[in-house]
Structures are given as structure tokens and as C-alpha cells.
Amino acid sequence: MELIDQLTNLASRAQKQLVHIQTEEATKTALVMPFINALGYNVFDPTEVVPEYICDIGTKKGEKIDYAIMRDGKPIILIECKHVGSDLNINHASQLFRYFHVTEARIAVLTNGVHYRLFTDLEQANKMDERPFMEFDLFNFHENDVAEIKKLSKPSFNIDDMLFAAYNLKYMRAFKKYFEEQFNQPSADFINFVSKQIYDGILTPKLKEQFSVLVHRSFHQFLNDKITMRLRSAMVDTSNALLAPELPARAVTEVAPAASATEAVDKEIETTVEETEGFMIVRAILRKLVAVNRVVMRDVQSYCGILLDDNNRKPICRLHFNGSKKYVTLFDVEGGERIDITSLDDLYGLASRIRAAVQRHEKKPAEAGV
């Protein structure tokens, strides 16, 4: 089973178990050990995974770390666990700081079973950085996150490759955070910088106020346009690669109305950019399972339905993106199940259930309608 599927299954189980996990030991057993196992390490083999690993620090003897992942008799990854309800902050990493410089491990992990923070020593040799180079959320991840986590796995682990990736991830994370801040609320410095690239005159206070709105709006529109164009291009390439027939005229009309995905399909139904992107993500998830032309979007006033074979007896999921809170209905179970999401990326975390919905319809006719 692929790592992404193992982590998706673990996340699904974890969400049902959280209310029953009351202690740190229960967190380790129910969440952390399965995570380590998903990475390919045998948690029951002390040559690979040592619980309560002893690290002697100066005059302190018998100091322990929760888990040490071993290779050739030496620790390569240290893991410190906290209760699943705990917030992870720098104070919780104090043990990792102490142990890091007295072992040969170059990777340290702080986790509460759901959130994982990964550290190394990029800033000063043999001293663990105060800020993680990567964070992983079991309940909110996508394929790119899994590709990076896979570098920790037994078959893939290589310390040089890991450190190179850590260096890139650390600074990419910082850049992305800056871009996100500017995307949500451009700073005065950012607006001034952008404005001076476009406008040669003097930036008066009134112009700065006007440009502040325009830069913000343009930033959003630019990214939305780029994402939409790229997703459409990817789906065309996928369709050609699978030698799938052309989409029926009706499906094309529903997926991409004449000018843009945000134009009204008719006077009452409006297919938004976000719904189109969600539909294309679902198609991308299913492309290895069925021909993409079999996955069709049917938009209605209250939700955007995604069907197999354009058959309302074969619902895959519904996208409810029009309200203040986004959620999807998944039809891998009878009658469907509502799942709240915060962003389109969350659909990747539901990939196994989206595929399961299609597999369910392939085995027997679906009775639930869309």
C-alpha cells in the first residue's frame, strides 16, 4: 500500500479514536507507533525502533527519549511525543534539544500524534534549530507533504538527501508564509514595491490607498487564473494520455462555460472557480482508477455534484462551497457522509474515500442519488 493511502487510513481511524485517547501512552500506541510503522520501520524490532531510548547527558544518566529509529546500531531519528491534546511549542522540544547534540541523529521529531514538527541542525552544527524545517498535519495533508515525509521512510532515508531537502523546505516554508501574508493582507512595503514597478509618478497617500485595493485584488485574480489554467491543462493532458474520448458537449459546457468558470451557467446556477478546481482535483485523484471522461460535474443551486458516468445513481461526492463553511459529502458509504474542509487541499486527504466511492459503484449499482 502506498504511503499516502496508509496515512489517509491512519487519519480516518484517528479521527474516530481521538475522544478515547486520554494519555500520552495511548497517543503513542494509537497514533505514533502506526505512523512509524507506515514509514516502513518495525516498531516491534528493537534493532529498528527503540522505545525509551537512553541518552546520557553529562552527569545526567538514564535520560530517555520516547523513540529512536535506528540504522546500523545508531540512532538516525529521535522522536519525542506529547499527549494528542497538547499544543506543540518550543518548550515541549527541550528534551530534544538536550538529546540532539549527544547522539548521531540529525533529524528530530516533536509530535502529539496528529501534528509532527521536524527539526535538524541547519543553523549551527550539532545544535538543533529552534524552528522546524517542516510541519506535517495528519488531518490536513496533500501529496506534496507525503512526498517529503516519505524521505524519512526506511526504504528512502538518506541523511544527505534529507538535509538537502530540509534546507530547501525551511526557506521555502518561510517564503510561502511571506507570500501567504501578502496574499491575505499586502503590507505597505509590498504595495509600494509593486506599485513602483508599474507607476512612474509620485505615490500620493490617495494613490497608495487605491493601489492597496488594486494590488490585493489583482494578486487574488492572478493566482486564481493561473491555478484554473494549469488544472485545465493538466486534465487535457491526462485525457490524451489515457486515450479517452472527447468530453460530451454537455459536460464541457458544465465544466468550462464559454468565457470562464466564474460565469453563470444559467440565470440561477453559477459554477465558481473553486468548484471547478475541486472537480479537477477529484478527477486527478481518480485518473488511475477510471477514464477521466467518466467523471462528470453536475452543478445545481445548493451544491456541485460529481458523478460517475453522468449518472445520478452513481454519486462520487458533492462540493458544498457556497456557504460560509465549506464541506463535502462523500458517497463511499450508504447515504453519504458530510466532511468539513478548510481548503481545496483537504480533498487530497480524502483521496482514498473518493476512490472508494467509485469502487463501490463499480461493484454494484448505487442507490443514493445526487
Which of 22-31, 217-226, 235-244, 269-278 comes out lowest in average pLDDT? Answer: 235-244
pLDDT given at position 159: 82
Residues 31 and 153 in one domain: yes
pLDDT given at position 234: 56
276-307 pLDDT tens trace: 889 989 998 998 899 888 999 988 878 899 99
Rounded Cα gap, residues 75 and 51, in angstroms? 12
Residue 129 is given by DSSP the state: -
Which of 59-63, 150-154, 189-193, 334-338 comes out lowest in average pLDDT? Answer: 59-63
What is the rounded end-to-end Cα distance, in angstroms, of the chain? Answer: 31
Which of 6-20, 77-91, 285-299 comes out lowest in average pLDDT? Answer: 77-91
The verdict on residue 368 lying in a domain is: no
Residues 32 and 108 in one domain: yes
Residue 336 is given by DSSP the state: -
Averaged pLDDT for residues 226-251: 54
Whether 254 shows a pLDDT value over 50: the answer reads: no
Is residue 103 a contact partner of residue 127, using CB atoms and an 8 Å limit?
no
Residues 300 and 338 in one domain: yes
Residues 303 and 193 in one domain: no
Q: How confident is the model at residue 77 (pLDDT cuts 50, 70, 90)?
A: very high
Residues in a beta bridge with 248? none
Instruction: Please give the mean pLDDT across all residues of the chain.
Output: 81
Rounded Cα gap, residues 244 and 331, in angstroms? 25
Q: How far is CA 113 from CA 3, 25, 75, 129, 237, in A?
A: 17, 11, 21, 21, 38
Rounded Cα gap, residues 157 and 74, in angstroms? 14
pTM above 0.85, yes or no: no
Measured from the Cβ of residue 220, the count of other Cβ atoms closer than 10 Å reads 12
Residues 132 and 12 in one domain: yes
- Residue ending a domain, among 154, 174, 194, is 174
183-218 pLDDT tens trace: 888 888 888 888 888 888 888 888 888 888 888 888
The verdict on residue 207 lying in a domain is: yes
Q: How confident is the model at residue 369 (pLDDT cuts 50, 70, 90)?
A: very low
Residues 263 and 296 in one domain: yes
Find the helix packing angle between 188-198 and 205-241, rounded to 10°.
80
Residues 230 and 299 in one domain: no
Share of the chain above pLDDT 70, in %: 83
Residues 256 and 213 in one domain: no
Residues 198 and 334 in one domain: no
- Residue ending a domain, among 174, 195, 219, is 174
Residue 215's domain comprises 185-241
Residues 111 and 147 in one domain: yes
Q: How many domains does the chain have?
A: 3
Whether 131 shows a pLDDT value over 50: the answer reads: yes
Measured from the Cβ of residue 16, the count of other Cβ atoms closer than 10 Å reads 8
Residues 42 and 142 in one domain: yes
Rg (CA), the chain: 24
9: domain CATH number? Answer: 3.90.1570.30
The verdict on residue 180 lying in a domain is: no
